[in-house]
Chain A
Amino acid sequence: MNLNDCHNFSDFRKLAKKKLPSPIFHYIDGGADDESTLRRNTESFNDCDLVPNILASVGKPNLLTTVLGKKIDMPIFLSPTAMQRLYHHDGDKASARAAEKFGTFYSMSTMANNSIEEIANISSGPKLFQLYVHKDNSITDDLIDRCRVSKFDGMCLTVDTLVAGNREKDHRTGFTTPPKLTLQSLMSFALHPQWVFNYFTHGKFEMSNVKNKTDKGTNISKSVIEYINEQYDPAMSWKDAEYCVKKWNGPFALKGVMAVEDAKKAIDIGCTAIMVSNHGGRQLDGSRSPFDQVSAIRDAVGDKLEIILDGGVRRGTHVLKALAAGATACSFGRMFLFSLAAGGQKGVERLLQNMHDEINRNMILMGCKNLKELNNSKLIYRK
């Protein structure tokens, strides 16, 4: 199996599973507790059906949209995800370059293995930074300042990760970062010599954005869980979020909003957008899926807020349903991480090409010339 055999999410996932040591694969693949929210994120799209219109002389559909003040070529982008160098030795460089090629957002996590400056140097495409509020305020301030200097286009603040989710697969595989060799995991690393070779020969593994401020996660083996619980501030409030919005003074999103009243508050503190997300089912299991919740939020906020649906998207038709239900655009993490693991930059490009083609094809089949034509009338919910 190679990249040319990857036609959809499950193909990329399969190839990633072949290429990655199992603790790392399961870190991507897993969710919290019983993973019921993880499953629901995708299943929820199946509770409604698309209703096409025919003979609409569609021609070539226009997939352009605007997110966080930036025109992007299609209504999807890459969600911020941590530690991409674990999945491929090119890490964020690969995903940033791939996104630029397709004219859409690449997003950088606070816990990326490349620095803000490094990525700004290699990509002039749209860039979003994902901020975590650390207990040490100076870390937060420093990150915002550096993003401004490096001309990142948007900032998003993660609000659903005050405490790490219960990712039981990580307990079992002993996943830490940097990867720690345990008896359990040794076998799995030994079976993936290519990954190990690349990991050790392509530069040091570090949390480039926070390495001067904390040594956690950089030179000692820590589980991500411990990092989150030690470094992130669980007392974070609306005031703190407002502070970040003002300090950034540009397009700003809250990532992880689910409640309608929280979406309204996001408008009040000056946000441009929210990412309706449950962190890919990795945090609160049993929480609502983004697609189940998106239309209620759109009804409440009208056109005062961009809504990014983050989570569960596997197909072009999922994107169409999300947009018809009220989303401005969709983003995904797990899906592109599998493509990154499967083939680095080429893998991510192949995935984005596939998704582009699916969205394009399905727009034609729906009889829609542009994304604005996608609205509630195109959906019928099953009882």
Chain B
Amino acid sequence: MNLNDCHNFSDFRKLAEKKLPSPIFHYIDGAADDETTYDRNTSSFNDVDLVPNVLRGVENVDLSTTIFGKKLDLPFYLAPTALQRLFHYDGERAVGKAAQKFNTMFGVSALATVSVEEIASLVDTPKMFQFYFHKDRGLNDSCLERAKAAKFDVMALTVDTITGGNRERDLRTGFTSPPKLTPSSLFSFATKPMWGINYLTKGKFELPHLQDYVKEGTDTNTSIGQYFSTMLDQSMNWKDAEKLCSQWGGHFALKGIMSVEDAKRAVDIGCTGIMVSNHGGRQLDGSRAPFDQLAEIVDAVGDKLDVICEGGFQRGTHMLKALSLGAKACSGGRLYLYALAAGGQAGVERAIEKYKAELVRDMKLMGCTKISDLNRDNLRFRK
């Protein structure tokens, strides 16, 4: 199996599983507790059907959409995710260049393995920085200032990860960052020698946004759950968010909003967008799927800020459903992470190309030529 055999999400996932040491694969693939929310994120799309319109003349389809004041050629973007160089030695460089090629946005995590400065020198299309609110205010200020200096377009404050989710697969595989060889993981690393060779020879693994402030995850092996639980400031409140928002002074989003009430408060503190997200089912298991919650939030604040639906997308038709309900754009992490592991930049490009081709085809089959043609009349919910 190679990249040319990858036609969809599950193909990329399969190839990633072949290429990655198992603790790393399961770090991407796993979610919190029983993974019920993770499953629901995708299965929620199956409770509603698309109703196409015919004979509308659909030769040319325009997939562009505007979020945070930036026009993107695609109605989806690559959500920020941590530790990308664990999945492929090019990490964020590969993802950023692939996103640039398709003129869509991508996110860089505070826990990225390539610095914002380097990303800015490689990619001039829209970029988002994903902020975690640390106890160390010096670290917070440094992240903000560096992202601002690097001319990132959007700042997204993560609000659903005040403590680490219970990712039981990581407990079993002993996943830490940087990866640690344990008797149980040794075999898995030994059977993927290419990954090991690349990891050790393609530059030092580091977390450039954090390394001046913390030891965890940079030169001591730490689990990601531990990191969140010990380093992040659990007292973070709306005031802190508001302060960050004005300190940033540009497009600012809250990532991980689920309740209508919180969405309204996001408007009040000056946010220009929110990501309706449960962190890919990796935090609170049993929480609501973004797609299930989307309509209420769009109804409440859709005209006041950009509502992004994040999580569960595996198909172009899933995106059409979210866009029909009123999302301004769709995003996902696993959406491209398996592809990154499967083939670096070429893998991510192939994944984007596949989703794009699906969207164009599905728009034509729906009888729509632009994203704004999609609306709730296109949908019927099953009883």
Contact = CB atoms under 8 A, between A and B. Distances in A.
B383 A261 contact: no
Contacts of B361: 163-166
Q: Which of A162, A165, A283 has the most CB of B within 10 A?
A: A162
B110 to A, nearest CB: 34
Contacts of B59: 234-235
B55 interface: yes
Interface string A288-325: 11001100000000000000000000000000000000
Contacts of B357: 166
A207 B244 CA distance: 66
A159 B53 CA distance: 9
A259 B383 contact: no
A235 B320 CA distance: 21
Contact of A259 (B51, B315, B365): B51
B53 A288 contact: no
A240 interface: yes
Interface stretch (A16-24, A190-198, A250-258): A250-258
Contacts of B269: none
Given A166-B361, A286-B321, A159 B55 contact: yes
Contact of B49 (A254, A261, A262, A289): A289
A324 to B, nearest CB: 17
Q: Is the interface of B mostly helix, strand, loop or mixed?
A: mixed
B94 interface: no
Interface string B15-29: 000000000000000
B365 to A, nearest CB: 4
B366 interface: yes
B45 interface: yes
Contacts of B318: 286
Contacts of A164: 361
B53 to A, nearest CB: 5
Contacts, number: 103
Interface residues of B, number: 33
A37 B53 CA distance: 17
A37 B8 CA distance: 17
B8 A168 contact: yes
Interface in A235-271: 235-238, 240-241, 254, 256-259, 261-262, 265
B292 to A, nearest CB: 16
A284 B53 contact: no
Given A163-B364, A284-B317, A257 B51 contact: no
Given A34-B315, A168-B7, A235-B59, A383 B51 contact: no
B50 A236 contact: no
Contact of B55 (A172, A262, A284, A289): A262
A237 B55 contact: yes
Nearest to A240: B55
24 contacts: A33-B8, A33-B317, A34-B314, A36-B46, A37-B49, A40-B49, A47-B382, A159-B55, A160-B52, A235-B57, A235-B59, A238-B55, A240-B55, A254-B55, A256-B54, A261-B53, A262-B53, A286-B45, A286-B46, A286-B317, A287-B52, A288-B49, A288-B380, A293-B380
Given A172-B5, A286-B317, A287-B49, 13 more contacts: A37-B49, A163-B364, A165-B361, A165-B365, A234-B57, A234-B58, A236-B57, A258-B54, A265-B55, A286-B318, A287-B52, A288-B51, A289-B49
Interface of A: 33-34, 36-37, 40, 47, 159-160, 162-166, 168, 171-172, 234-238, 240-241, 254, 256-259, 261-262, 265, 283-289, 292-293, 381, 383
Interface of B: 5, 7-8, 45-46, 49-59, 314-315, 317-318, 320-321, 357-358, 361-362, 364-366, 377, 380, 382-383
Q: Which 6 A-B pairs have the closest CB atoms?
A: A288-B49, A286-B317, A159-B54, A284-B365, A237-B57, A235-B59
